[in-house]
Amino acid sequence: MHDATPSRRLRQMRRALVAGARMLALAVVLVWSAFPIALLVLGSLRMPRDIFSEKNLFVFTPTLQNYVNLWQRWPDFFHNLVNSLMIALGATALTLVISFLAGYVYARRQGRMLTASAFFMIMVRLLPPIVLTLPLFPAINWLMLNDTRTVLILLYSAFFLSLGTWIMKAFIDQLPIELEEAAAIDGSSLWQTLWHIILPLSHAGLIATSVFIMVFAWNDFLFAFIFTAVDAKTAPVVISEMVGAIDGVDWGILFAAATLQLLPILVFVLLVQKYLIAGLSAGASKG
């Protein structure tokens, strides 16, 4: 027993070392995640000529010069932001309505046909989106829906219906069925029950679903790039044009535009963080 004290000290040292290593790892993870974003947002507030100077990366007098330049050189960008917003809201509303109804049925009804249709829903998740641009391109031209917000709203919804339905089913599954039975005895119709009982109780699922579709619709490049030209062009497409500008990239303007595109959705995601986490595990792993 004569070595009790040194071994305890050794253990304490090891524990301190492990704790130190953990905090160091945490610091690395935080820098990895946040530094690139901070660089962009802060860069948008520096004088254009200072953007590449490595001095005072975080301490400087902020200026809105880049935003003024953006306003003057790309006046349409704000119209494109509005497009992005309307498309994201439209796609979210559509996805919520359809997923809520389908999710309710899959949660409460059983049957071989229903199971088969649910299975079909899972299968279509495997379709790579770019494959569908081929047949949709002529079809959309023919319907004269090219370069409209409607097309993007429909496409984004179609791609997130499956996940949305799954999330809604997972949340509605947790609601006690007695509530609906009691409502039915009181003479409430199915629609009344859905509207007055199920809908308010499944708000967490609705928020979780809206996070995914909102982030996707607001950020998408591929479909907006292929299916819009002028009127319905979204912010990410315009930012990609700024990156590829032939007369050299104006980083100040680019940073201002990118910051305006990312801040609203970043704030939204962080506000509804816990729903995002709940929705992701519900949508991905539960049957």
Partner 1 sequence: MVAPAQAMLIALLFLPALYVFWLSLTRSTYGATPQWVGLGNYVTVLSDPYFWTAALNTVIVVNAVVLGEFALALGVAMLFAGWIPWRRLMIAVVLAPYAISEVVSVVIWKFMMDPIGGPVSLALRGLGLPELDWAVEPSHGLAMVILLSIWHHLPFTFILLYTALLGIPRDLYEAAKVDGAGAWRRFVDVTFPLLVPAMLVAVVFRYIFAFRIFSEVWLLTGGGPARTTEVLAVYLYRQAFRYADFGAAAATGWLMLIASLLMGAWYIHQMYKRMFSNA
Site for partner 1, residues 53 to 72, rule: CB under 8 A = 54, 57
Contact 168, 206 (CB under 8 A): yes
Per CB under 8 A, 219 contacts partner 1: yes
Per CB under 8 A, 135 contacts partner 1: yes
Instruction: Supply the minimum distance, in Å, between the C-beta of residue 276 and partner 1.
Output: 7
* Closer CB to partner 1, 105 or 201, in the complex: 105
Out of 208, 251, 252, 256, name the contact with partner 1 by CB under 8 A: 251
Closest by CA to 162, choosing from 95, 218, 238, is: 95
Out of 133, 146, 148, 188, name the contact with partner 1 by CB under 8 A: 133
The residues near 188 (Cβ < 8 Å, ≥ 6 apart) are: 196, 197
Site string for partner 1, 267-286 (x = CB under 8 A): -xxx--x--xx--xx--xx-
Per CB under 8 A, 13 contacts partner 1: no
* Closer CB to partner 1, 2 or 227, in the complex: 227
Per CB under 8 A, 262 contacts partner 1: yes
Q: Which residues between 156 and 185 bind partner 1 (CB under 8 A)?
A: 157-159, 161-162, 165
Out of 6, 36, 75, 248, name the contact with partner 1 by CB under 8 A: 36
Out of 114, 179, 182, 229, name the contact with partner 1 by CB under 8 A: 114
Chain-centroid distance, C-alpha 118 = 24
Candidate ranges 62-70, 85-93, 177-185, 232-240; the one touching partner 1 (CB under 8 A):
232-240
Out of 33, 56, 174, 192, name the contact with partner 1 by CB under 8 A: 33
* Closer CB to partner 1, 2 or 230, in the complex: 230
Question: What are the backbone dihedrals phi and psi of residue 202, each rounded to the nearest 5 degrees, phi first?
Answer: -100, 25
Closest by CA to 70, choosing from 260, 279, 200, 197, is: 260
**Any idea what DSSP says for residue 126?**
G
Would you tell me how many other CB atoms lie within 10 Å of the CB of residue 1?
A: 4
Closest by CA to 260, choosing from 52, 41, 73, is: 41
Per CB under 8 A, 230 contacts partner 1: no
The residues near 21 (Cβ < 8 Å, ≥ 6 apart) are: none
CA distance linking residue 252 with residue 67, whole number of Å: 8
Q: Which amino acid makes up residue 131? A: V
Per CB under 8 A, 118 contacts partner 1: yes
Q: How many helices (H) and strands (E) does the chain have?
A: 14, 0
Instruction: Supply the minimum distance, in Å, between the C-beta of residue 221 and partner 1.
Output: 4
CA distance linking residue 81 with residue 145, whole number of Å: 20
